[in-house]
């Protein structure tokens, strides 16, 4: 087993696995470069290949004795146009273009739209965005059989390009038949997080919850304007949130996305649930070994805003420089967190504790760490709830999460500041204190004479019983006891 020191940074890095990174050796290099969690994009590839990837990630976990989260991302109900004669057509600017229910191959004047839900739903004035917004249509007439549009922005349109409908809530379920199969596969493979795409309403989370049966955490991807209208309800029903800026940026004006990103991050942070900022963070590193200055600023701003994790997509999935992209993201995060202004910036959000004992103790952890020379906060938890409460306060010192549940430890890989360690069940107060000291020494959170804040609940093993805060001093001879 390889000894692995804590990362030394608070924000986590989520990297997407793809052709450029699925090789076990590359996965190992990405992990060593700074990846805390891996995203398996179920929109592409076959189950067999994804299973091999997850097996390789679990082997890394064993090698480095460090919990690693696997997030399986469901494709969701992607809307697409039909096929064209010859594979493509040209829609001239300002010309009329019709979407209908006729399956015949399309041309420069019409194409099939194989989604009956949209007919009778759209109204004059609504927009249709095709191929990530490269073609923009404005509805002039809509019936149950056809949708007549004017091409505000024309261009080349080809087979089965995606369609975005920003001005209407489309009455289609968040899970397709493919998603249900992929979800069953992900649960069977022991995925730690399931990301649900194109969430529009709180109800969209219900079916996924039922199928998951408590066997993973649910991440709601916010990429539809409709989701913003009911954001707090969606956050309440999810275990975490992803700011998926790709489709969100297609359906909204570009200048609307940055303030919405901050709104989503802040609303999620108030609940203590992990929030991930994703899409195009270091996009130029797909082909270049160095990012643009604007991309560096984008990543830095997400870190300053207190996001729990930042994500790499095509940069690690299909790019030419996957390892360099991770190293760059790691370097940016570390530089931001070294900034004297970081602690103040990351706490601009007023996360007032709820009127509960657990929240009051979590807030006290932060206050003690700010007042006394503390090396780390140690949280004993069986569900992860106490750790999320402490992380919500964005304390100035590392957070060591000790849990007997390996599934909980893996989920913590996306939680700000958390370094999770799987331990055996604790039976007494004395055993808890001794274990906390040993783990702090073993994992590099101080040496002899260092102070540690310990937060836990008694009786042990009872969920929701957080009621204890204790400050201890580490002694060097406790390093000699390596019992786990």
CA distance 254 to 405: 42
* Terminal CA-CA length for the chain: 15
221: annotated active-site residue: yes
For 236, other C-beta atoms within 10 Å of its C-beta total 12
39: annotated active-site residue: yes
CA distance 105 to 424: 63
Inter-helix orientation angle 322-338/24-33, to 10°: 10
Give me the sheet containing 127-130, strands edge to edge: 79-80, 162-164, 127-130, 135-142, 146-153, 96-100, 110-112
Question: If residue 278 lies in a helix (H) or strand (E), which one and from where to where?
Answer: strand 275-278
For 327, other C-beta atoms within 10 Å of its C-beta total 16
Of the candidates 32, 80, 230, 263, the residue annotated as catalytic is 80
160: annotated active-site residue: no
Beta strand pairing status for 96-100 and 110-112? parallel
80: annotated active-site residue: yes
Q: Which of 103, 90, 78 is nearest to 176 (CA)?
A: 78
Long-range contact list for 119-126, CB < 8 A, 24+ apart?
A: 119/143, 119/144, 119/145, 119/146, 119/147, 120/144, 121/168, 121/170, 121/171, 122/147, 122/165, 122/167, 122/168, 123/168, 125/167, 126/165, 126/167, 126/168
Instruction: Report how far Cα 86 is from the mean position of its chain's Cα atoms.
Output: 39
Of the candidates 66, 161, 221, 451, the residue annotated as catalytic is 221
**Are 163 and 224 a contacting pair, CB within 8 Å?**
no
CA distance 471 to 433: 10
149: β partners: 97, 139
3-class SS at 225? Answer: helix
Classify burial at 293, counting beta carbons within 10 Å of its beta carbon; exposed 0-12, middle 13-18, buried 19 or more: exposed
Of the candidates 53, 268, 271, 279, the residue annotated as catalytic is 279
Of the candidates 7, 10, 12, 39, the residue annotated as catalytic is 39
Which positions are annotated as active-site residues? 39, 80, 221, 279
């Amino acid at each position: 087993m390889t000894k692995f020191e804590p990362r030394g940074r608070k924000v986590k890095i989520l990297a997407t696995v793809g052709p450029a990174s699925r090789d076990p050796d590359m996965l190992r290099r990405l992990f060593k470069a700074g990846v805390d969690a891996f995203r398996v994009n179920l929109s592409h590839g076959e189950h067999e290949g994804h299973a091999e990837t997850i097996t390789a990630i679990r082997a890394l976990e064993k090698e480095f004795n460090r919990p690693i989260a696997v997030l399986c991302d469901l494709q969701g109900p992607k809307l697409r146009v039909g096929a064209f004669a010859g594979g493509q057509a040209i829609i001239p600017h300002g010309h009329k273009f019709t979407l209908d229910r006729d399956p015949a191959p399309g041309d420069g004047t019409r194409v099939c739209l194989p989604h009956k839900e949209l007919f009778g739903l759209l109204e004059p004035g609504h927009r249709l965005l095709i191929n990530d917004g490269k073609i923009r249509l404005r509805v002039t007439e809509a019936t149950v059989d056809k949708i007549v549009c004017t091409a505000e922005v024309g261009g080349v349109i080809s087979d089965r390009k995606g369609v975005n409908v920003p001005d209407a809530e489309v009455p289609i379920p968040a899970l397709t038949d493919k998603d249900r199969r992929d979800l069953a596969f992900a649960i069977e493979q022991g995925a730690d997080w399931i990301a649900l795409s194109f969430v529009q309403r709180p109800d969209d989370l219900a079916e996924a919850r039922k199928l998951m049966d408590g066997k993973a955490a649910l991440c709601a991807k916010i990429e539809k304007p409709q989701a913003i209208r009911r954001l707090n309800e969606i956050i309440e029903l999810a275990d975490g949130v992803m700011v998926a800026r790709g489709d969100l940026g297609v359906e909204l004006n570009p200048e609307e996305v940055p303030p919405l990103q901050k709104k989503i991050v802040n609303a999620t942070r108030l609940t203590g649930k992990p929030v991930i900022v994703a899409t195009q963070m270091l996009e130029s590193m797909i082909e270049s070994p160095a990012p643009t200055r604007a991309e560096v600023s984008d990543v830095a701003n997400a870190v300053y805003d207190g996001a729990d994790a930042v994500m790499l997509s095509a940069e690690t999935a299909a790019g030419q420089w996957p390892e360099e992209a991770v190293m760059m993201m790691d370097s940016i995060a570390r530089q931001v967190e070294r900034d004297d202004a970081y602690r103040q910036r990351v706490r601009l959000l007023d996360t007032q504790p709820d009127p509960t004992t657990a929240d009051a103790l979590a807030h006290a952890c932060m206050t003690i760490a700010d007042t006394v020379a503390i090396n780390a906060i140690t949280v004993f938890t069986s569900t992860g709830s106490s750790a999320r409460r402490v992380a919500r306060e964005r304390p100035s010192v590392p957070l060591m999460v000790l849990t007997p549940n390996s599934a909980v430890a893996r989920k913590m890989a996306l939680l700000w500041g958390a370094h999770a360690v799987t331990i055996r069940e604790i039976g007494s107060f004395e055993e808890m204190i001794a274990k906390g000291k040993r783990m702090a020494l073993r994992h590099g959170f101080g040496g002899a004479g260092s102070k540690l804040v310990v937060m836990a609940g008694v009786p042990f093993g009872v969920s929701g019983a957080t009621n204890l805060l204790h400050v201890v001093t580490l002694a060097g001879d406790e390093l000699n006891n390596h019992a786990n």
